[in-house]
Amino acid sequence: MVHLVDALLMAVIILNFVALGSSRIRSSVRVVGMQGVILGTLPLIVHHTVTWRGVVVAMLAVLLKGLVIPKMLEAGLHPSRAPREARPFVGFISSLLLGAVGTGLALLFAQTLPLAQAHTGLLLVPASLCNVMTGFWILTTRRTAIAHVLGILVLENGVFTFGLLLLDAMPELVEAGVLLDVFVGVFLMGILLKHIDRELSEVDIAAEPMTILREE
Amino acid sequence: MLIALLILPLLAAVAAFVLPSDRWRAYLVPLGGALHFLVLAPLVVGPTVTSSGNWLVFDPLGKLVLSAISVLYLVCSFFVPGYLAHYNHRPNRFFVMAMLGFLSATSLVILAHHLGLMWVAMEATTLITAPLIYFNRNVKSLEATWKYLLICSVGIALALLGSFFLAYASIKNGLPSSLLFEDLVKMAPQLSRPWLHAAFALLLVGYGTKMGLAPMHTWKPDAYGEAPGIVGALLAGGLSNCGFIALLRVLRISQAGGDGAYAHEAMIAMGLVSMVFAAVFMVRQNDIKRMLAYSSVEHMGILVLGVGLGGEAIYGALLHLMNNAATKGVMFLAAANMHRTYGSKQIADIKGVLHRLPVSGALFIAGFFAITGSPPFGPFVSLFTILGQMMKSGRFFVAGLFLALLGVVFIGMGASVLAIVQGRPTALASASPDREKLWSTAPMVVLLAFVLVLGFYIPAPLQHLLEQGTAMLEVTR
C-alpha cells in the first residue's frame, strides 16, 4: 500500500515539473487535471477504513480537480487566441532547474520535521511542500490570468496532500479542502474568467496581464 | 437564537431573489440589518451563549466585533435604497442578495468556534463580497475583483494549510481529535510546539491577507478603490475585522500553548510594517478611495500591533476596532457622495466639496481628524491607550516609530483632504443635478456622533465587554 501511495506521489511531483517547463497553457491545464485525479483517488488508498463518506469525497475531488476545473479552463481558452504563456518573468528552463533544487530541499527538509511515528518515511509531506512551492512559483513568475489560476490549483493540491495525513482523525478538514476546489473552480474561474473574456475582448487574456490598476 | 443571526439575513436574501421590483428590493437591506440588530442586542448584553455541540459560541470577543459590524451595517444600510435608486438603470438583485449574505457570512465567522467551520465561513465572505466589488461592471472593477479573489484565495489556501498544521499538532502527540477552539485552548500545552509555531505563522499570513495587513494588502487599494463607497465602508469596517477575530482565536491557542511570545512579536512586526506601507502610499495619493484603503491597512496594522503589545494596548486595540469601523463608515460614505457628484474619485478632479456638498465635506474633514487620532474623537483615546502601553513596557523605539508614522499619515492625508474640500467646485460638479439628501447624509452623522461619544464616554456594557475581551487575550508576559 505504502509503495503505491509513494509511486502516485512521485507522479504528482513529476507533473509539477511538466507544469513548470511547459509554455503551452493547454498542456499545463491537463497536467494540473491529472494531478487532481491522482490526489483525488489517494484518500481511498490512504484511508484505513473505506466509508461511504470517504468514497463520496474522493469521487467529488476527482470530478472537480480532474474533470470540471480543467474543462472550465479549457473552455476559457479561445482557439483563436495565443495558447502560450508568452513572456514569463523567469524562463522555463530556469524554472525547471529551480524546481529540481526545490524538490531536493523539500525532501531533505521533510526528514527534519517532527512527524508522528506512522508518517515518517512517507512521501506525503515532501510532495505537499513541493506543490506549495511550485504553486507559488507559477503564481509569481507567470503573467496570464489562466496561469495564475493554475498556480493556485497546484498550491491547493499541495495543501490537499498535507491534509491526507489528517484523514483518519479529522476527515471534515479534508472535506473543507474539497470545498476550496469548489470555490476556486466554480467562482474564480467559471464566473470571473467568463466576465474577463467578455470585457477584455480586445485584449487577449491568455497573453496580457491585467495591469490598469496600480500606483502612479 | 444564535442561528437566527445567520438565518434572518439569508431569509431576506431569499426575499430579494423572489421580489420582482428593483425599487422595493433595495429596502430589504435596511430590513435585514434591523432584524439582525434586534436579535443581536439582547444577546450582547446577556451572558455568553453557546449552541448545542459548542460549534457556535457568542463570547465577549465575538460580541465586540459583531456588534461593531451590526451597528455599522444597520446605519449604512439606510444609504442603500437611495444609492441604488440613483443607479436604477442597473439590476440590483445580486447586489442586494450579496449585501444580505455578507451579514450572514460575517456573523458565522464571528460565532464559529470550530477551526474548520470558521475557515469555511471566511471563504464564504470572500465569495459573497466579490459581486459587491464588481457592482460597477467595468474593466477596472473586474480587474479589482479578479485580484481580490486571486490574492484572497492564496490567503485562504494558506489559512487551510495552517489549520491542517494546527490539527496535526494535536494528532502528532496523540491527543483527542477536536477542532473546537475551547478544546484546543485546553489541550494547547500538550500540542506539538513546532507544528503550533508553523501553524500560527501560516494562519497569520492567511487571515492577515483577509485583514489586509502589509505586505499581503495589495488587493485592498484596488478593491476598495473600485467598489461602491458603501461596500468600501462594509469591507473596511466589517470584513477586515473578521480576519482580525480569526487571528485572535488562533492567538489564544498559541498563548495557551506557551508560544505567545513569538506570536506577539510577529504581530508587532506585522503591525508596524503595515503602518509603514500605508504611510508611504498615503502621501501624494491621488485617489480618495485608494487613500482610504491605505488608511484601512494602517489601522488593521494598529489593531494587531496593539494586541501584540499586550496589557492595556489590548483594550486600546479592541476599542480602536469600534472607532475605526465607525470612522471608516463616515469617510467611505462621504467619498461615495463625492464620487457621485463629481463623477470622479481623483483628488485632482474634486474641488470645493464644502461648497458643493457641505455636509459630506464637513463630515469628511471631521472623519479625517478622527481617524488620524485627533481629540476629541474616539480614536484619540484608543491610540493613546496603545501608546501608553508602549511607554509602560519600555518599547520606546516602537513608540517613536508609531508616532512618526501617525504624523506622516496625518500630513499626507491632510494635504489631500484639504485639497478636495477647499476651492471652487468644478463646472462638471456644479452642473450635476445631485443634491445632498437625508439618506446620503444622516448615516454619516450618526456614525460620527458615535465616534465623538466614544471620545468622551464609554457606555457601561461596552466597557464591560472590552474588559472581558482584554482578559481573554491577556497572558502574563
pLDDT on residue A204 = 47
Helix axes B240-256, B139-172, angle to 10 degrees: 10
Chain A: closest CA distance from residue B142 (Å): 7
Residue A146 lies in a domain: yes
Contact A196 B144 (CB under 8 A): no
User: Among residues 370-389 of chain B, which lie with CB inside 8 Å of chain A?
Assistant: none
The separation between the first and the last C-alpha atoms of chain A, rounded to the nearest angstrom, is 57
Contact B153 A173 (CB under 8 A): no
Reported confidence tier of residue B475, pLDDT bands at 50, 70, 90:
confident
B105 interfacial to chain A (CB closer than 8 Å): no
Query: A169: Cβ–Cβ under 8 A, 6 or more apart, which residues?
Result: B167, B171, B177
Q: Would you give the DSSP letter of residue B350?
A: -
Give the bridge partners for B49, in sequence order: B58
Cα dihedral B61, B63, B68, B69 in deg (nearest 10):
100
Reported confidence tier of residue B430, pLDDT bands at 50, 70, 90:
confident
Reported confidence tier of residue B104, pLDDT bands at 50, 70, 90:
very high
pLDDT on residue A86 = 60
pLDDT on residue A203 = 45
Closest among A145, A75, A72, A154 to B145, alpha carbons compared: A145
Residue A178 lies in a domain: yes
Chain B: closest CA distance from residue A34 (Å): 20
pLDDT at B58 over 60: yes
pLDDT on residue B299 = 96
pLDDT on residue A201 = 52
Residue A215 lies in a domain: no
Chain A: closest CA distance from residue B143 (Å): 6
Please report residues of A whose CB lies closer than 8 A to that of B218: none
pLDDT on residue A206 = 45
Share of chain B above pLDDT 90, in %: 78
* Residue B216, C-alpha cell as written in the block: 499581503
The shortest CB-CB distance from A177 to any of B149, B160, B177 is to B160
The shortest CB-CB distance from B154 to any of A113, A155, A183 is to A155
**Number of structural domains in chain B:** 1
Please report residues of A whose CB lies closer than 8 A to that of B206: none
Q: Which of A167-176, B4-13, B275-284 has the lowest mean pLDDT?
A: A167-176
pLDDT on residue B371 = 95
The shortest CB-CB distance from B149 to any of A166, A188, A200 is to A188
Note the pLDDT tens digit of each residue in B196-241: 999 999 999 999 999 999 899 999 999 999 999 999 999 999 999 9
Reported confidence tier of residue B244, pLDDT bands at 50, 70, 90:
very high
Contact A199 B138 (CB under 8 A): yes
pLDDT on residue B27 = 94
Chain B: closest CA distance from residue A101 (Å): 23
B232 interfacial to chain A (CB closer than 8 Å): no
Residue A15 lies in a domain: yes
A-chain residue closest to B294, CA distance = A215
Those residues of chain A that have pLDDT short of 50 are: 202-207
Radius of gyration of chain B (CA): 21
* Number of Cβ atoms within 10 Å of the Cβ of A169: 17
The residue whose grid cell reads 503589545 is: B309
Please report residues of B whose CB lies closer than 8 A to that of A125: none
Q: For residue B348, what are the CA distances in angstroms to A152, B172, B285, B286?
A: 38, 59, 10, 7
Q: Would you give the DSSP letter of residue A120?
A: T
Please report residues of B whose CB lies closer than 8 A to that of A145: 146
Residue A210 lies in a domain: no
Q: Would you give the DSSP letter of residue A202?
A: T
Please report residues of B whose CB lies closer than 8 A to that of A188: 149-150, 153
Strand (E) or helix (H) holding B58? strand B57-58
pLDDT at B330 over 60: yes
Chain A residues within 8 angstroms (CB to CB) of chain B: 113-116, 132, 139, 145, 148-149, 152, 155-156, 158-159, 162-163, 165-166, 169-170, 172-173, 176-177, 179-180, 183-184, 187-188, 192, 195-196, 199-200, 210, 212-213, 215-216
Structural domain of A155:
2-199
Contact A195 B134 (CB under 8 A): yes
- In residues, how long is chain A? 216
Q: What is the mean pLDDT of chain B?
A: 92
Q: Which residue has the higher pLDDT, B291 or A193?
A: B291
In terms of Cβ atoms closer than 10 Å to its own Cβ (0-12, 13-18, 19+), residue B435 is: exposed
Note the pLDDT tens digit of each residue in B123-147: 889 988 988 998 888 888 888 988 8
Contact A210 B147 (CB under 8 A): yes
Ramachandran category for residue B114: left, alpha or beta (phi over 0 → left; psi -120 to 50 → alpha): beta
Structural domain of B321:
2-473
Contact A179 B120 (CB under 8 A): yes
Mutate to test the interface with B, among A133, A173, A202 (most CBs of B within 10 A): A173
Contact A148 B150 (CB under 8 A): yes
Residues B177, B15: Cα–Cα separation, whole Å: 40
Q: Which amino acid is at A51?
A: T
Mutate to test the interface with A, among B156, B160, B287 (most CBs of A within 10 A): B160
The shortest CB-CB distance from B192 to any of A114, A132, A139 is to A114
Query: B336: Cβ–Cβ under 8 A, 6 or more apart, which residues?
Result: B79, B83, B228, B229, B230, B232
Q: What number is the ipTM of this complex?
A: 0.91
The shortest CB-CB distance from A215 to any of B143, B226, B281 is to B281
Residue A211 lies in a domain: no
A-chain residue closest to B139, CA distance = A199
User: Among residues 140-169 of chain B, which lie with CB inside 8 Å of chain A?
Assistant: 140, 142-147, 149-150, 153-154, 156-158, 160-161, 163-165, 167-168
Q: For residue B143, what are the CA distances in angstroms to A186, B138, B146, B152, B294?
A: 18, 9, 5, 14, 18
Mutate to test the interface with B, among A143, A148, A155, A215 (most CBs of B within 10 A): A215
Residue A21 lies in a domain: yes
Record the pTM: 0.93
Closest among B445, B428, B274, B292 to B358, alpha carbons compared: B445
**Number of structural domains in chain A:** 1
The shortest CB-CB distance from A184 to any of B115, B153, B225 is to B153
Chain B: closest CA distance from residue A122 (Å): 15
Give the bridge partners for B287, in sequence order: B346
B190 interfacial to chain A (CB closer than 8 Å): no
B-chain residue closest to A169, CA distance = B177
pLDDT on residue A50 = 74
Closest among B402, B263, B381 to B318, alpha carbons compared: B381
